[in-house]
């Protein structure tokens, strides 16, 4: 009875925290998600060939939108639903592996973790990443640390699902493979251990095999030119973003560390000790592989670190559960701090809705007018606001890369090279030449006043092209400035936008 009451209470608290800012704001990446998911369901895997992501989340979102709708709150609602599933998922993971107390603690941590709270209110795949990483880690420990072969099919499905949700699932897969070593060392059935490992990882690989040709194409032609290689600040990123700051992190390290130290002092053959070591290897190896790969091909940003949070919460729950009264006291401190609402960053991710309001309410754009986004990946968000939500006439969308064929999808194919070669004469002038007299063009610039956020290869080009094209339009004698939108700038916590509307007079 008590676990059911606790679970219900956690659901209520979590639902409150994770709907405080629901639907308040969409930013660029959410526009990309909605745009991709708005394509026909079985076209999505092919569409993603030019994007760089796996298809599972977008296909789930597409089905969700068909039932619930495609408004900001409706699309973010899928992430809320997935985040709520982390509560029973965390309870199962902790309880089935380490006992009732660990299960309840893991469920409580999942219910109020601030990283999950933030991404539960974002139309992206990061809450799904966390839930799958937690469950896949638990299934792995069941099979390889505790020798429970019955969980092998579950492990195969969960690992394959992780691979189909985000490419950092590959790094988690390497971390899980590294964790086989401490499990094998104490295995009581070494003769079949590697057979189970081959079945588990091989089965997940077979399920993932159909996606490999697309992945190879993405690696060669899409990449992440908007990122820099990571430095040694990963511990700070984990502390601030995943664990909610210094105080909760210290509480986890001191109290949880006490419980974990007691486990490590047990006999080598102790299965819980093996599971702890394997869990630590999963986190550290995943982090190390991601860091090293990103030195060569940058793929490192704080939100991707969510793939580590599942196994981290499971280990934390174990440590707090074994720390006795100290663990419970630390848990109370952590939950109180994590449960403090942090709504500003969620309610002001972008001011694209303000731009839409200014343009649509004043009827500034007409049939066939042109919208130019100086940050090409902003096009799906602008199309969503100006066409889907704004009941605006059909518009044409372009960027420094040229006129856009599908304004709901960003084509990253060789994007850096295409952006490097873009010029006013070759890419902008033909668009203005084709604009009829009386036609209007809205040029939308990203707000780039913080230069340190715009120093990656791609973002440097965005700033440069934005300045060049803005200057060219301002000096074009055929164009007359109509308005600056939005009239008042509300600071955005992710990427803000500002626009100028011109009319072609001759």
Q: What pLDDT digit, counting tens, does each position of 118-159 carry? A: 999 999 999 999 999 999 999 999 999 999 999 999 999 999
Pick the CATH number of 350-504 from 3.40.50, 1.20.1180, 1.10.287, 1.20.144: 3.40.50
Alpha-carbon span 239 to 250, nearest angstrom: 9
Return the structure tokens found at 132.
Answer: 């799958």
Distance from C-alpha of 16 to C-alpha of 343, rounded to nearest angstrom: 12
DSSP state of 239: I
- State the Cα angle at 414 between 410 and 416, rounded to 5°: 90
The model's confidence at residue 453, banded by pLDDT at 50, 70 and 90, is: confident
Longest dimension (CA), the chain: 85
pLDDT at site 506:
75
Check residue 452 and report its DSSP letter: G
What pLDDT score does 391 carry? 67
What's residue 189's pLDDT?
76
CA distance 48 to 46: 5
Average pLDDT, the chain: 93
Mean pLDDT of 436-456: 87
Find, among 66, 60, 76, 90, the residue nearest to 122 by Cα.
76
Q: What is the pLDDT of residue 389?
A: 66
Nearest to 139 by CA among 162, 120, 116: 162
Q: What are the CA-CA distances from residue 377 to residues 225, 250, 369, 417 (Å)? A: 12, 39, 20, 15
Kindly list the domain boundaries of the chain, sorted by start residue.
Answer: 2-346, 350-504
Residue 188 has a pLDDT of 77
Residues 178, 180, 182, CA angle at the centre, nearest 5°?
100
**Structure confidence at residue 231 as a pLDDT band (50, 70, 90):** confident
């Amino acid at each position: 009875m008590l676990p059911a009451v606790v679970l219900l209470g956690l659901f209520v608290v979590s639902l409150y925290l994770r709907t405080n800012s629901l639907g308040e704001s969409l930013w660029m990446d959410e526009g990309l998600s909605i745009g991709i998911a708005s394509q026909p369901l079985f076209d999505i895997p092919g569409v993603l060939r030019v994007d760089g992501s796996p298809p599972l989340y977008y296909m789930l979102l597409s089905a969700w939108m068909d039932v619930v709708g495609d408004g900001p709150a409706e699309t973010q609602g899928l992430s809320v639903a997935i985040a709520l599933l982390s509560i029973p998922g965390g309870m199962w993971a902790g309880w089935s592996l380490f006992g009732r107390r660990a299960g309840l603690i893991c469920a409580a941590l999942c219910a109020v973790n601030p990283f999950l709270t933030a991404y539960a209110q974002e139309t992206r795949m990061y809450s799904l990443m966390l839930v799958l990483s937690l469950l896949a880690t638990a299934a792995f420990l069941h099979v390889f640390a505790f020798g429970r072969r019955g969980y092998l099919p579950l492990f195969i499905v969960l690992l394959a699902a992780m691979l189909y949700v985000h490419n950092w699932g590959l790094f988690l897969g390497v971390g899980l493979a590294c964790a086989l070593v401490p499990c094998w060392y104490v295995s009581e059935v070494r003769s079949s251990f590697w057979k189970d490992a081959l079945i588990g990882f091989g089965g997940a690989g077979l399920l993932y095999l159909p996606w490999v040709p697309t992945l190879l194409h993405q690696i060669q032609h899409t990449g992440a030119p908007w990122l820099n290689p990571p430095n040694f600040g990963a511990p700070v990123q984990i502390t601030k973003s995943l664990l909610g700051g210094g105080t909760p992190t210290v509480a986890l390290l001191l109290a949880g560390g006490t419980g974990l130290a007691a486990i490590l002092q047990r006999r080598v053959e102790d299965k819980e000790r093996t599971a702890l070591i394997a869990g630590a290897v999963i986190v550290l190896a995943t982090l190390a592989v991601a860091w090293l790969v990103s030195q060569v091909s940058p793929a490192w940003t704080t939100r991707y670190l969510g793939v580590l949070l599942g196994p981290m919460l499971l280990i934390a729950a174990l440590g707090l559960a074994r720390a006795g009264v100290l663990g419970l006291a630390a848990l109370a401190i952590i939950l109180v701090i994590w449960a403090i609402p942090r709504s500003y960053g969620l309610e002001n991710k972008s001011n694209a809705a303000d731009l839409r309001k200014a343009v649509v309410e004043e009827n500034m754009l007409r049939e066939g007018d042109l919208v130019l986004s100086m940050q090409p990946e902003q096009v799906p968000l602008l199309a969503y606001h100006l066409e889907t939500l704004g009941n605006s006439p059909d518009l044409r969308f372009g960027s420094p890369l040229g006129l856009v064929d599908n304004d709901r999808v960003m084509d990253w194919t060789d994007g850096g090279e295409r952006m490097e070669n873009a010029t006013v004469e070759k890419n902008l002038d033909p668009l203005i030449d084709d604009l009829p007299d009386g036609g209007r063009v809205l040029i939308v610039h990203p707000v780039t006043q913080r230069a340190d956020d715009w120093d990656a290869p791609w973002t440097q080009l965005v700033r440069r092209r934005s300045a060049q094209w803005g200057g060219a339009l301002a000096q074009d004698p055929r164009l007359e400035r109509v308005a600056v939108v939005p009239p008042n700038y509300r600071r955005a916590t992710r990427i803000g936008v500002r626009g100028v509307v011109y009319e072609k007079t001759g």
